Structure 1
Amino acid sequence: MEVLSFRTPGLGDQTYLLTHDGRGVLVDPQRDIGRFLDAAAERDVELRFVLETHLHNDYVSGGEQAALRTGAELVMPAAAAPAYRHTPAFHLEDIDGGGGLALRPVHTPGHTPEHTSYLVLIDGEPVALFSGGSLLVASAGRPDLLGPERARSLARLQHISLRRLAALPPGTALYPTHGEGSFCTATGAGRLTSTIGAELADNPLLAVDDPEKFADTLLAAPAPIPAFYRHMGPANTLGVPPMPPVQVPELDEPAAGHVVDVRPREAQAGGMLPGSYGIELDNDFGSWTGWLLPHGEPITLVAGPGQDVTEAVTQLAQIGVDTVQGVVRDLGDAATQTYRLVDLGTFVRLLREPDAQLLDVRMPSEREQVRLPGAAERFLPDLFTQGVPDALDQERPVLVACASGRRAAIAAARLAGAGYRPIALTGAGVPDVVSALDRLN
């Protein structure tokens, strides 16, 4: 048996391809299924099953399309009841894969009500568990994505589910879908894979015996929920069309809709189209674009000469955004929206000036760990929905910081479009600023 892992860093998720005796099982595939099917073809594997652990909240699934393209059997939790053809997985009713391979569905509600994990048996012996959003490495799937009204009930169910999985043999390999960087984890997830025995020893959630205390722990400081999540569950229930082509036309000027500048932040700072979003292309480009822009509206990308936008289009398609109209590369004289980027030393010097004003765009949990006195605080997505804090003066420069510079640059572009004079800290963050100020004092 071999298990191949395909990581999607920007979403913090993993897809798996299990191969055994020429048979393949694909687990929780992202929408861009080509990479998984190519891997199966390279190994001369016949894809027998496509497994879904739950109706995903953080991406649109490629499960239905992978099954249609290959003839594999699409297996989904019995309670998911999507609108397309599938085989329902019932608790502890084994699915025979032939050649000594069997799949045992284990109902593990908590992350979602229908959530089902899959225990892999070879010749009757349990060897691996695909746990989706149930038991994670050093964590568990969060129970609040379906709304606060159901969160505590689902958290108590998650307590039962984790103990159900923890009772498996300690040597069983653990392959969760959600991991480090995912907003579907209740607490900070660590390594990407593990074993049941390692989790019994190290996962702090398995040490909480009382269901109510367990629920309190999961719900104590919930992370923000990205805005695009609300569209993923319905899409995965109704069915997702095939991945669209990633090539987009070259445009002389933006089409109607929103403009997203994907160039490096240094290029953006030197001049952007007025009113455009500045989200430089990186692993989390799709997540931030899906969170900050209205869902489903037309998008024009701005890219540098020769910059490949294939990755940008792919990341957007993974969250169901198929509305990229094209790409503009020559901004001419229209790039009049600017901001400043500075290093840590310059930022600290400017911060110590009498008229300094600071905007912290980190999330609340980050601010609880370390705060910069006197800073206006607004989590980056709230800057787009609630506007700029009233305390900030348009007539004075605004120093903007986050944890690394990524979100500060996005915020600076937004402030510049609103008529402010932003100065973004790049290559460092608020903890570095606090340390530098402490050293000076």
Structure 2
Amino acid sequence: MDVTSFRTPGLGDQSHLLTHEGAGVLVDPQRDVGRFLDAAAERDVELRFVLETHLHNDYLSGAAEAARRTGAELVLPAAAAPAYRHTPAFHLEDLDGGAGLTVRPVHTPGHTPEHTSYVVLVDGEPVAVFSGGSLLVATAGRPDLLGPERARSLARLQHLSLRRLAALPPATELYPTHGAGSFCTASDAGRHTSTIGAELKDNPLLGVADAEEFADRLLADPMPIPAFYRHMGPANTLGVPPMPSVAVPELAEPAPGSHVVDLRPRSSQARGRLPGSYGIELDDDFGSWAGWLLPYGEPVTLVAEPGQDTAEAVTQLARIGFDDVRGVVRLPAGAGAPAYELAGLRDFAERLRRPGAQLLDVRMPGEREQVRVEGAVERFLPELFTEGVPDALDPARPVLVACATGRRASIAAAELTRRGYRPVVLTGAGIAELAETLRVSPAP
């Protein structure tokens, strides 16, 4: 048996392809199924099953499309009841993959009510478990994505589910779907895969015997929920259309009625950008931030540098349901209206010491608890878009903007520019480095 994991860093997720003596099992595939099917073809395996552990909250599923294109059996948790043909996975009702391969569904509610993990047996012995959003590496899937009303009930169920999986043999390999970088985890996840034995030793949640205490821990400090999450579950229940083409037309100007998203590097955006555009430079999490900040599913025009490949941006948008990408406008660095300034750590700290300086911290609340800069105005990046600019910031004076690395600060700067402010972005460093610099280098 061999398992290949496909990481999607921007979403903090991974899909898995199990192969065994010419048979394949695909677990939790995202919408862009070509990469998984190509891997199966390269290994010369026949897909027998496409398994879904739950109705995903963070991306559109490619499971139905992968099954349609390969003839594999599509399997979903019995309680998911999606509006399309599938095989329902009932607790402990084995699926025979042939050649000694058995897939055993195990009901593991908690992350979602219908959540089901899949234990893989070879010749009757458990060798691996695909745990989806249940038992994760060093943590567990969060139980609050369906609303606060159900969170504690699901947290108590998650307590039982983790113990159900922890009863597997210690050598059983653990392959979660959610991992580091995912907003579906209750806390920071570590490695992407593990074993049951390693989790029994290192996962702090498995040491909590009481269900109520477990729920308290799981719900104590929840991370924010990206805005596009509320659209994923219903779409995955009703059925996801095939992945759209990633090729988009070249445009001389933005398509009427579309939201303009500038994906060029922040250094290019700072020098000049199209008025009114969102600034989200292309990186692994481009789609996540676009989905969080833009009105869901509405038309988009991309702005890119000459020669910049836009296929990755279109793919990331399609994974979360932004299918209407009207085209791309090519904008060289320096073209358009000047937007904001970039400043290195030393220059930024010097500006912050000047009389009347104002600092905006756009990190998550949990990050602020670890380190703060005295006097900073705090507003988490998405709230800058939904609640507006804090009243404490004066548009007549420059606004110094910082996060952990400069990425979110540059996104915030584009929005501040749209609202008439003059941002200065700390780039190449973050609040932690800034706080240390201010501490060791006091003003003269």
Q: Bin the TM-score by the shorter chain.
A: over 0.9
Range that drifts further, 323-332 or 287-296: 323-332
Q: How does 1:80-229 map to 2 (within 5 A)?
A: 80-229=80-229
Q: Secondary structure at the match of 1:399?
A: strand
What corresponds to 1:317 in structure 2?
318
Q: Secondary structure at the match of 1:79?
A: helix
Q: Secondary structure at the match of 1:96?
A: strand
1:343-368 per-residue CA deviation (whole Å, 9 max, x = no partner) reads: 00000000000010000000000001
What is the CA distance between 1:334 and its match in structure 2?
A: 6.9
Aligned residues: 441
Residue identity opposite 2:408 in structure 1: R
What is the CA distance between 1:330 and its match in structure 2?
A: 3.7
Q: Secondary structure at the match of 1:355?
A: coil
What corresponds to 1:327 in structure 2?
328
Q: Secondary structure at the match of 1:369?
A: coil
Checking the alignment, whether the CA contact within 8 Å between 2:360 and 2:400 is kept in structure 1 is yes
What corresponds to 1:378 in structure 2?
379
Residue identity opposite 1:326 in structure 2: G
1 CA distance for matches of 2:332 and 2:35?
A: 34
Checking the alignment, whether the CA contact within 8 Å between 2:26 and 2:51 is kept in structure 1 is yes
Q: Secondary structure at the match of 2:80?
A: coil
Residue identity opposite 1:392 in structure 2: L
Checking the alignment, whether the CA contact within 8 Å between 1:274 and 1:337 is kept in structure 2 is no
Checking the alignment, whether the CA contact within 8 Å between 1:273 and 1:331 is kept in structure 2 is no
2 CA distance for matches of 1:92 and 1:278?
A: 49
Is 1:266 equivalent to 2:267 in the alignment? yes
Residue identity opposite 2:244 in structure 1: P
1 CA distance for matches of 2:47 and 2:312?
A: 26
Residue identity opposite 1:15 in structure 2: S
Q: Give runs of ≥4 in structure 1 deviating > 3 Å.
A: 330-334
Residue identity opposite 1:9 in structure 2: P
Checking the alignment, whether the CA contact within 8 Å between 1:252 and 1:330 is kept in structure 2 is no
1 CA distance for matches of 2:276 and 2:17?
A: 43
2 CA distance for matches of 1:401 and 1:332?
A: 23
Unaligned runs of 5+ residues in structure 2 are: none
1:260-303 per-residue CA deviation (whole Å, 9 max, x = no partner) reads: 00000000000111110000000000000000000011100000
Residue identity opposite 1:94 in structure 2: D
1:116-155 per-residue CA deviation (whole Å, 9 max, x = no partner) reads: 0000000000000000000000000000000000000000
What corresponds to 2:357 in structure 1?
356
Q: Secondary structure at the match of 2:351?
A: helix
Residue identity opposite 2:11 in structure 1: L
1 CA distance for matches of 2:96 and 2:334?
A: 64
What corresponds to 1:25 in structure 2?
25
Residue identity opposite 2:323 in structure 1: D
What is the CA distance between 1:56 and its match in structure 2?
A: 0.1
Is 1:75 equivalent to 2:80 in the alignment? no
1:356-390 per-residue CA deviation (whole Å, 9 max, x = no partner) reads: 00000000000011111111100000000000000
Q: How does 1:335-414 map to 2 (within 5 A)?
A: 335-414=336-415
Residue identity opposite 2:78 in structure 1: A
Range that drifts further, 357-366 or 330-339: 330-339
Instruction: Tell me the TM-score normalized by structure 1.
Output: 0.99
1 CA distance for matches of 2:434 and 2:157?
A: 42
1 CA distance for matches of 2:187 and 2:311?
A: 32
What corresponds to 1:431 in structure 2?
432
2 CA distance for matches of 1:385 and 1:184?
A: 22
1 CA distance for matches of 2:202 and 2:333?
A: 56
CA 1:108 to 1:175, structure 2 compared with 1: closer, same or farther past 3 Å? same
What is the CA distance between 1:12 and its match in structure 2?
A: 0.3
Residue identity opposite 2:253 in structure 1: E
2 CA distance for matches of 1:333 and 1:42?
A: 45
What is the CA distance between 1:257 and its match in structure 2?
A: 1.6
Checking the alignment, whether the CA contact within 8 Å between 1:119 and 1:126 is kept in structure 2 is yes
What corresponds to 1:233 in structure 2?
233
Q: Secondary structure at the match of 1:403?
A: coil
Checking the alignment, whether the CA contact within 8 Å between 1:228 and 1:291 is kept in structure 2 is yes
2 CA distance for matches of 1:337 and 1:248?
A: 27
What is the CA distance between 1:337 and its match in structure 2?
A: 4.2
Residue identity opposite 2:197 in structure 1: G
1 CA distance for matches of 2:193 and 2:403?
A: 29
Checking the alignment, whether the CA contact within 8 Å between 1:337 and 1:417 is kept in structure 2 is no
What is the CA distance between 1:331 and its match in structure 2?
A: 6.9
